[in-house]
Structure 1
Amino acid sequence: LGTTAILQDIWDAEFVCKVIAAEKPAFTMAATPFLADLVKTAPKHEGELDSLRIFVSAGAPIPSALVEQAGQNLKARIVSAWGMTENGAVTMTCPEDPAERASQSDGKTLPYMDVKVTDFKGNSLATGEEGNLMVRGASLFVGYLKRPELYGVDEGGWFGTGDLARMDENGYIRITGRTKDVVIRGGENIPVVEVENLLYKIPGIADVALVGCPDDRLGERLCAYITLDETTNGLTLDDVKDHLLRHQLSKNYLPEYLEVIEAMPRTASGKIQKFKLREQAKDLRLAPAKRA
């Protein structure tokens, strides 16, 4: 396109604001926590970020509270996208979609790509049902270097992503979790993403991650790991439960542990490493006082 590209190898929201003010970029793409940082910093740079028209956020679902804040602090349209290293971007919301769709959906398929939602036997599921997300198409990778046995593509060209999702009647998908991140308490699947989105609405919460911790009777119990912003001194499990109940969450989806930590373990691209939190949660069975 003959345009200028600005690359930043170490994230710093204040520096990004200065770059936007100086270079006037129209588009950027980054993971959800970077969007949160920019939205938080933007009020100190009023009028300086107006060139930014599109912010494509991927890597994790965008909390609805963050989209609302972005609408107040930025003029950019927030676009939600989903993809993997193995296939690049696969689905995306459209800039002309209602603003709230970015927090409710991970988009519909881009040209030359296909997605479907199946049960564990590979059968396609009806609209709105949760299942395995499968992908095929032009940008799908052709294998792992020197590991041909890991190339999990079937005879129809479908690749199992390891993500759980559901699809609406318009073809928009919603990632609901990873197959290995599912929390099953007493035989019932807990809608982790939905509960996390509700928790993000609590003032003072910066990050949220729900994981299961082992339980001899129910198999797993639900633990909420959170980080707080610098203006918030504390939050209790009762505070969290009261908030969720006010938002009509079913009681059987309430977390039973609350762990406040200084920072979430993350990958370099900003994704929360839930496997590390699950390892920490194994010790919670030794702390029954935190149980609901």
Structure 2
Amino acid sequence: MGVEQKLTTVKALWHERLKQNSDDLFVIEAGQRYSYGQIGQLVEQAAKRLTAWGVQSGDIVALQFELDLENIVLLLACIEVGAVVNPLNPHFDRDEVTALIKRFKPYAIISQKSVRGRDTISTFQHLPNYQLTCTGDLKMFISQDRLVPVFKANEGPADAVVILNTSGTSSAPKGVVLTNTNLLAAEAAYLQAFGITKSDLTLLLSGMYHAIGFHHGLIATILAGSKIVLLKHYAIAEVAKLLQEEPITFIDSLPTVMYDLLFKVADLGQLRQLICGGDQIKRELLQQAQKRNLPLYNCYGLTEAVPFSYTPRAYYQQQQGLTTAVTPMAGIKVRLVNDQQVINQANVTGLVEVKGPVIFKEYLGEPEKTVATFDGEWLKTGDLAHYNQAGLLEIEGRSGDRIIRGGEKIAACLVEEKLQVCSNIQEIAVIGIPDMRLGQRIGAFIVPRDQQKKITKAELLAELSKHEVDKKYWPEKIWQLTALPRTVNGKIKKYQLTEYLRDQASNVQQIF
């Protein structure tokens, strides 16, 4: 485009794109093609509807949608009217959604009926202090209390654009507030790192509630003036079909998708690169990418800093594609810290801290947590890493206790809490079980109340279903123990449970 550095807001970027590229292809969905200008007309109509519903600049608008054209249009319409959009994961259960609404107090909540039977908001018939309106397949809750907007008018670079929710690893999901500067700086660096231009066509597989979808799917595409293909419901057979029908040049998604692409799709069409985030990339996946002669680059970050690092092409080629080492994106500084000392030497593990224009503004309504996340100007990521001999970062994992299953981050403590509804569970400890395709699966070590009664997986899942525990919290492998290993202070030694699995300890009975 050539003028993106002069623009300071996403809204201004969108208007400039409509001005310069009105007739150019923007979105492909179900074989239908839409230009930037056509989408612009739909956005204008949707913006008028939002205004008619009373949405004002600075209001929070929560959207729970599938990945489709209607979702894209409403997101851009929110930006058009100056609202701060809060995309909600359609996989959030009722408790998670209700808690977010209570904490964030959005002026409008709009839900699209799902065809997959995982509805949450669209099943609600009533929300306190909200008026229900239905139109087509949309269900809208409009606040009956006109509160002072949380945010000021979205007119400047430091103003909020979107609130992305964290996965709730150690507590309830936090609302990560991202500004115009955050988004534009992040995606300018992303396009530069991976050489993405107007000629590219990306297949978008991550929802708008996820940083990959919102940042690298929507914002990066508009910034480059390129185009996207939308797939509403992920299925690898549909992905394979699209790769034959459309000249898709790259896909940015999770390791699970990369596994399916590289192991299950025979013809990869015109793909020139794969970009992977959300979880660590296993060596077997890199080896398969090497066999398929298709680069698989690591793009590493977190919701609060999307992205902050990537695997550079030259180093990737030097290592014959068998590396996930990363270097900071343009405009980003990274340091490793251990016991308040900055680490500069190779092969010494430390906590990753980051600073730069991509760093988020705040956690919505949680100033104490916002302050606690920073070390001066540096964002404390919670990631452990070390420098390799080439000076690149080798990410080792998280310092916290969480499971990353198919890119979805699940707090082990939350799974443990959900499983307590089961009648014959006295104690439980949950850990991540390594899995080549998904990265990790949920493993649970159970001490039963009745030691004489064997716990079967079928009975356990039936009880969880009865209590309406969401499937994402269901354990995939379980083991029965007489006691959990603990420290003198009573804390569970989860590392010993991991050792039990590795050594196939005789005192652990696995139940399939």
Instruction: Output the TM-score relative to the length of structure 2.
Output: 0.37
Is residue 5 from structure 1 mapped to residue 228 from structure 2 by the alignment? Answer: yes
Is residue 127 from structure 1 mapped to residue 346 from structure 2 by the alignment? Answer: yes
Which residue identity does 1:94 align to in structure 2?
A: P
Is residue 31 from structure 1 mapped to residue 254 from structure 2 by the alignment? Answer: yes
Farther off after superposition, 213-222 or 104-113: 213-222
Name the SS of the counterpart of 1:174 in structure 2: strand
What are the Cα deviations for residues 88-141 of structure 1, in whole angstroms up to 9, with x where unaligned?
011111233335576533410111001111103253353221111101111111
Name the SS of the counterpart of 2:229 in structure 1: coil
Q: Flag the 1:5–1:208 CA change in 2: closer, same or farther, 3 A.
A: closer
Q: Flag the 1:129–1:216 CA change in 2: closer, same or farther, 3 A.
A: same
Structure 2 residue corresponding to 1:20, chosen from 239, 243, 262: 243
Matched ranges for 1:145-164 at <5 A: 145-151=364-370, 152-155=373-376, 157-164=377-384
Q: In the alignment, what sits opposite 2:307? A: 89
Q: In the alignment, what sits opposite 2:397? A: 177
Distance, in Å, in 2 between the alignment partners of 1:180 and 1:144 is: 19
Q: Flag the 1:209–1:4 CA change in 2: closer, same or farther, 3 A.
A: closer
| RMSD of equivalent CA atoms | 3.2
What are the Cα deviations for residues 209-242 of structure 1, in whole angstroms up to 9, with x where unaligned?
4989752369344446xxxxxxxxxxxxxxxxxx
2:299·2:309 contact (CA, 8 Å) conserved in 1? yes
Distance, in Å, in 2 between the alignment partners of 1:102 and 1:118 is: 29
Structure 1 residue corresponding to 2:387, chosen from 160, 167, 181: 167
Runs of 5+ in structure 1 lacking a partner? 183-198, 225-254, 259-283
Distance, in Å, in 1 between the alignment partners of 2:237 and 2:496 is: 36
What are the Cα deviations for residues 171-222 of structure 1, in whole angstroms up to 9, with x where unaligned?
311111211249xxxxxxxxxxxxxxxx77xxxx544549897523693444
* Higher gyration radius (CA): 2
Structure 1 residue corresponding to 2:296, chosen from 75, 78, 97: 78
Query: How many residue pairs end up in the alignment?
Result: 210
Structure 2 residue corresponding to 1:61, chosen from 253, 277, 280: 280
Which residue identity does 1:88 align to in structure 2?
A: V
Q: Flag the 1:161–1:222 CA change in 2: closer, same or farther, 3 A.
A: same
Distance, in Å, in 1 between the alignment partners of 2:316 and 2:343 is: 28
Farther off after superposition, 115-124 or 58-67: 115-124
Name the SS of the counterpart of 1:59 in structure 2: coil
Matched ranges for 1:191-210 at <5 A: 206-207=437-438, 209=440
Distance, in Å, in 2 between the alignment partners of 1:62 and 1:149 is: 33
1:82·1:106 contact (CA, 8 Å) conserved in 2? no
2:276·2:298 contact (CA, 8 Å) conserved in 1? yes
- Percent of aligned positions that are identical: 20
Name the SS of the counterpart of 1:96 in structure 2: helix
Instruction: Output the TM-score relative to the length of structure 1.
Output: 0.62
Which residue identity does 1:63 align to in structure 2?
A: K
The Cα shift of 1:7 comes to 2.5
Distance, in Å, in 1 between the alignment partners of 2:275 and 2:310 is: 9
Which residue identity does 1:164 align to in structure 2?
A: L
1:114·1:136 contact (CA, 8 Å) conserved in 2? yes
